């Protein structure tokens, strides 16, 4: 389950940042099976880059810096990009995560039917697919319709792909999520039914 309600934390005077974000929610429901060699999760991996922990955040509103009139006037309770995360962070590490998943699940890039990548930036997704040597249409994208919905974007994209009959039983699907901090997670799964 991913839910994202960032709009209430945006500085609407900062049009460059505020125009990127949208609110959303999405979920993927998994169920168990007793079938041998049944479709399901093949591999997963978590990855963090702790050196970016203070690059972005909402720095006021908790016990460290409680809300006061002064904090609100200074917009300290809103999302702040304190430093610039290197532009190639996702496009460098997403392919590494993907290769790690494929190695662990004993599959190859040519086996993958569809990729669901965090919908943060179409250029980053295109660069990732180029690095992998794969066509861009193997990445399912919804940001052109829904904008950046953070942690909800992958669940929303999977639901949209299912609604548009893009997933078939036996498809190898890769999901890669990332967020501020920087934290990343990825999963390789075999899809269990035709949509």
Spatial contact of 72 and 56, defined as CB atoms under 8 Å apart: no
Q: 68 vs 16, which has greater pLDDT?
A: 68
State the average pLDDT over residues 45-55.
91
Which run of H or E residues covers position 122? Answer: helix 122-132
Give the bridge partners for 57, in sequence order. Answer: 80
pLDDT band at 178 (very low <50, low <70, confident <90, very high): very high
Going from the N-terminus, what domains does the chain have, and what CATH number goes with each? 2-190 (3.40.47.10)
Task: Note if the bond before 137 is cis, omega within 30 degrees.
Answer: no
Spatial contact of 10 and 18, defined as CB atoms under 8 Å apart: yes
Please report the beta strands in 28-147, taking only residues with DSSP state E, as ranges in sequence order. Answer: 41-48, 56-57, 80-81, 112-117
d(CA 56, CA 48): 15
pLDDT band at 168 (very low <50, low <70, confident <90, very high): very high
Residue 36 backbone phi and psi in degrees, to 5: -65, 140
d(CA 195, CA 192): 10
State if pTM tops 0.75: yes
Distance of CA 125 to the CA centre of its chain: 11
**What pLDDT score was predicted for residue 119?**
93
Reported as a single tens digit per residue, the pLDDT across 89-140 is: 999 999 999 999 999 999 999 999 999 999 988 999 999 999 999 999 999 9
């Amino acid at each position: 389950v991913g839910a994202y309600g960032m709009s209430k934390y945006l500085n609407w005077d900062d049009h460059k940042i505020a125009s990127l974000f949208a609110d959303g929610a999405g979920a993927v429901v998994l169920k168990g099976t007793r079938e041998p060699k049944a479709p399901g999760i093949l591999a997963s991996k978590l990855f963090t880059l702790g050196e970016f922990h203070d690059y972005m955040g909402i720095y006021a509103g908790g016990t460290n810096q409680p809300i006061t009139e002064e904090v609100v006037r200074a917009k300290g309770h809103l999302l702040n990009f304190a430093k610039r995360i290197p532009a190639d962070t996702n496009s460098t590490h997403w392919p590494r995560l993907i290769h790690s998943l494929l190695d662990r699940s004993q599959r190859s890039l040519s086996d993958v039917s569809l990729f669901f990548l965090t919908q943060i930036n179409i250029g980053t997704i295109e660069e990732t697919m180029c690095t992998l040597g794969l066509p861009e249409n193997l990445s399912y994208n919804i940001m052109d319709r829904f904008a950046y919905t953070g942690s909800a974007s992958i669940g929303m994209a999977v639901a949209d792909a299912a609604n548009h009959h893009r997933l078939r039983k036996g498809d190898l699907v890769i999901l890669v999520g990332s967020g501020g901090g920087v934290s990343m997670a990825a999963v390789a799964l075999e899809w269990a039914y035709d949509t």
